[in-house]
Chain A
Amino acid sequence: MPSLKDLRNRIASVKATQKITKAMQMVAAAKLRRAQEAAEAARPYSERMGAVLANITQAIGGGGDAPALMTGTGRDDVHLLIVCTAERGLCGGFNSQIARLARDHIRRLLADGKQVKIICVGKKGFDILRRDYASLILERVDLREVKTLGFANADAIARKVIHLFNEGGFDICTLFYSQFKSVISQIPTAQQIIPAAQASAASDTGNGGGAVYEYEPEPGEILSDLIPRNIAVQIFRALLENAAGEMGAKMSAMDNATRNAGDMINRLSITYNRQRQAQITKELIEIISGAEAL
């Protein structure tokens, strides 16, 4: 049985923890709003980019001059996985969910006899994947110092990926990130970015507007400029969704923690009061029985 003093200390320490988690929750809420705004502000660009891309692929009509980044190498022996996670923990199952999806994917690919390479964006995913697949990790992109996520960050990653592709480093590239659905729900997602998934282009054929474009310079040239940019945009979008998702997950995790701390304080206070009362009663009995003995 812990003494009264122990209980008092315990309650004080849980209260301190509760204050911290409460503060973290509020910080996460503020950051979430900013991250959400950033994600929303970036949406028009990726939407327009998708429309333009659909338009131009239609113009080229699957001709032979589409760049390799779009059509792929025609093989699927070497897979590159870009796993985007958060830089910090304490956000519930957010990081482990993404890592689990990536790990399942890796296991399946390895079982099929494919070669797998990994680029980790964010420290937490790296820490998790390092345990099992340290030899497969090519690189780790650190965004810890980055205060506000800029397009330049995504562009740098895209450049690395494209450089690797041009050297023949991989055939298929898949992006892992968490889709921000709502504050309490983030869906870990795998998205193939090289070669660009054909389904999206096919579904957009309807809204070409029927306009006959003039291209300046040639469509092929525009496309070869557009595709790398599109990859950067996809990565940027993934990073923004991740940032919003991380904050959402952190907010609900910290909300839970605050509530748990509250419950714990209640339980400890009851134990504390009961024990104090027991001690008072015991002392009274001692006094009374002492007086009776006289």
Chain B
Amino acid sequence: MAEAFKFELVSPERLLVSEQVESVVIPGAEGEMTVMAQHAPVMTTIKPGVVTVKATGGKEDRYVVFGGFADILPSGCTLLAESAVHVNDIDRADLARRIQDAKEDAADAKDDVARSRAEQFLSQLTTLEGALIPA
């Protein structure tokens, strides 16, 4: 059995997860990464996506996060999410509203940098939606 480490998922409103886990898949800004115990210290921003938490018992839990960043140390991993919900509790209407907002942002963007950033965010959101709908 793989070594366990401490994983914490925190949103501004509350602490969602704080437990010993085997591995966590994080949607990093520069690609997904799987974190296991003894991982090298990394600090990364995360994009909207799904975090998969594999607990020591082998049970898997999935959470949807909307941006934030992760602080990874050999002894543990802390994920600070802007907002996070369990995959079963996801509100479709809320997701649709976020996509709508992102679309408006992209349309309102003043310069190219802001527009490309907004469009990138929008595509991340739509990918996320696509991944969730069949689930």
Q: Measuring CB to CB, which residues of chain A are less than 8 angstroms from any residue of chain B?
A: 38, 41-42, 44-46, 48-49, 51-52, 55-56, 150-152, 154, 209, 211-217, 219, 221-222, 225-226, 229, 232-233, 236
Q: Are A45 and B45 in contact (CB under 8 A)?
A: no
Q: Are B29 and A217 in contact (CB under 8 A)?
A: yes
30 inter-chain pairs at a CB distance below 8 angstroms, sorted by A residue, are A38-B13, A41-B13, A46-B12, A48-B8, A51-B71, A56-B43, A150-B13, A151-B11, A151-B12, A151-B13, A151-B82, A151-B83, A209-B73, A211-B73, A213-B41, A213-B42, A213-B43, A214-B40, A215-B42, A216-B28, A216-B30, A217-B30, A217-B44, A217-B45, A219-B43, A222-B45, A222-B69, A225-B69, A229-B82, A233-B12
Q: Are B82 and A215 in contact (CB under 8 A)?
A: no
Q: Are A226 and B69 in contact (CB under 8 A)?
A: yes
**A42-B14, A52-B71, A233-B12 given as contacts; is B45 within 8 A of A225 (CB)?**
yes
- The smallest beta-carbon distance between A35 and chain B, in angstroms, is 13
- The smallest beta-carbon distance between B110 and chain A, in angstroms, is 11
| Distance A42 CA – B40 CA, assembled complex (angstroms) | 28
Is B15 at the interface (CB under 8 A from chain A)?
yes
Task: Kindly list chain A residues whose C-beta atoms are within 8 Å of the C-beta of B45.
Answer: 216-217, 221-222, 225
Q: Is chain A's interface secondary structure helix, strand, loop, or mixed overall? A: helix
| Distance A56 CA – B40 CA, assembled complex (angstroms) | 16
**A213-B41, A222-B43 given as contacts; is B80 within 8 A of A48 (CB)?**
yes
| Distance A168 CA – B95 CA, assembled complex (angstroms) | 34
Is B10 at the interface (CB under 8 A from chain A)?
yes
Q: Is chain B's interface secondary structure helix, strand, loop, or mixed overall? A: strand
Task: Kindly list chain A residues whose C-beta atoms are within 8 Å of the C-beta of B69.
Answer: 52, 222, 225-226
Is B78 at the interface (CB under 8 A from chain A)?
yes
Residues 16 to 45 of chain B near chain A (Cβ within 8 Å): 28-30, 40-45
| Distance A45 CA – B11 CA, assembled complex (angstroms) | 6
Task: Kindly list chain A residues whose C-beta atoms are within 8 Å of the C-beta of B83.
Answer: 151-152
| Distance A284 CA – B15 CA, assembled complex (angstroms) | 76
Counting contact residues on chain B (CB < 8 A from A), the size range is: 20 to 34
- The smallest beta-carbon distance between A30 and chain B, in angstroms, is 19
| 9 residue pairs, one from A and one from B, having the closest CB atoms | A41-B14, A151-B12, A216-B44, A211-B41, A213-B41, A214-B42, A45-B10, A44-B15, A213-B43
Give the nearest-CB partner of B79 in chain A. A48
Task: Kindly list chain B residues whose C-beta atoms are within 8 Å of the C-beta of A150.
Answer: 13
Task: Kindly list chain B residues whose C-beta atoms are within 8 Å of the C-beta of A46.
Answer: 12
- The smallest beta-carbon distance between A234 and chain B, in angstroms, is 11
| Distance A56 CA – B43 CA, assembled complex (angstroms) | 9
Chain B 82-101, CB-CB to A under 8 Å as 1, else 0, gives 11000000000000000000
| Distance A215 CA – B10 CA, assembled complex (angstroms) | 20
| Distance A219 CA – B41 CA, assembled complex (angstroms) | 13
| Distance A14 CA – B5 CA, assembled complex (angstroms) | 62
| Distance A109 CA – B29 CA, assembled complex (angstroms) | 43
Q: Are A52 and B13 in contact (CB under 8 A)?
A: no
Task: Kindly list chain B residues whose C-beta atoms are within 8 Å of the C-beta of A232.
Answer: 12
Identify which of B13, B73, B82 contacts A42 (C-beta below 8 A). B13
